[in-house]
Amino acid sequence: EVQLVESGGGLVQPGGSLRLSCAASGFTFSSYDMHWVRQATGKGLEWVSAIGTAGDTYYPGSVRGRFTISRENAKNSLYLQMNSLRAGDTAVYYCARRVRGGYYMDVWGKGTTVTVPS
Amino acid sequence: NFMLTQPHSVSESPGKTVTISCTGSSGSIASNYVQWYQQRPGSAPTTVIYEDNQRPSGVPDRFSGSIDSSSNSASLTISGLKTEDEADYYCQSFDSNNWVFGGGTKLTVL
């Protein structure tokens, strides 16, 4: 079964750091681009970062310079290092797989919650 | 920055047809594929339409997608509405290495 399981969420003070992990199973992890997408409570989806199979990385302006996406193919794992956290970063963070050759995400994890109090 | 705008909410009765729009802020929405995701409360999103008008396996043909270049918008149409279709729907596209989601539309089937 194809599966993504996020972990590492929690409560962190403003200015603090947190590292999220995503464990992949049921597919050849190294062959897929991967993403992080977040959703604040009652709000919409927001793309946070992406990493290609070659390790190329992409970020929106809202997190560039504060967040770092990485992958460890030998462990079938995706990571998101989040620094200088703000109240606005409070959200459920989803790990998602990009479909090969396409421009959408076809597998999502259940998410992990990050809370940064104001 | 490229943005996608959706209506905040729509509602319709069971058995009817509803259309949700997604309007691009600039350029041509037809330049990059548009996808649609369904998200039920407490669950992760799932794809209902990809590449403008393609349905993943398992998605009923009551769901369809289209592009209207004249209005720079994409649309998701759901026919024969069922109560189980009640959910949030998000459009998504891609622009210059940025992945963009619309703000989401809450569909109420009443």
pLDDT class of B94 with cuts at 50, 70, 90: confident
A108 and chain B in contact, CB less than 8 A: yes
Digit-coded pLDDT (tens) for A41-94: 999 999 999 999 999 999 999 999 999 999 999 999 999 999 999 999 999 999
Averaged confidence pLDDT in chain B? 94
The C-alpha atoms of residue B1 and residue B49 are separated, in whole angstroms, by 24
Closest to A58 (Cα-Cα) out of B36, B4, B97:
B97
Mean pLDDT along residues B77-90: 97
Q: What pLDDT does B95 receive?
A: 83
Chain B's closest residue to A41, CA to CA, is: B42
Which residue, chain included where needed, has tokens 């759901």?
B78
Mean pLDDT along residues B18-38: 91
Q: Is A44 within 8 Å of B47 when comparing Cβ atoms?
A: no
Q: Is A58 within 8 Å of B98 when comparing Cβ atoms?
A: yes
Which of B6, B32, B54, B99 is the mutation pick for testing A, counting most A CBs within 10 A? Answer: B99
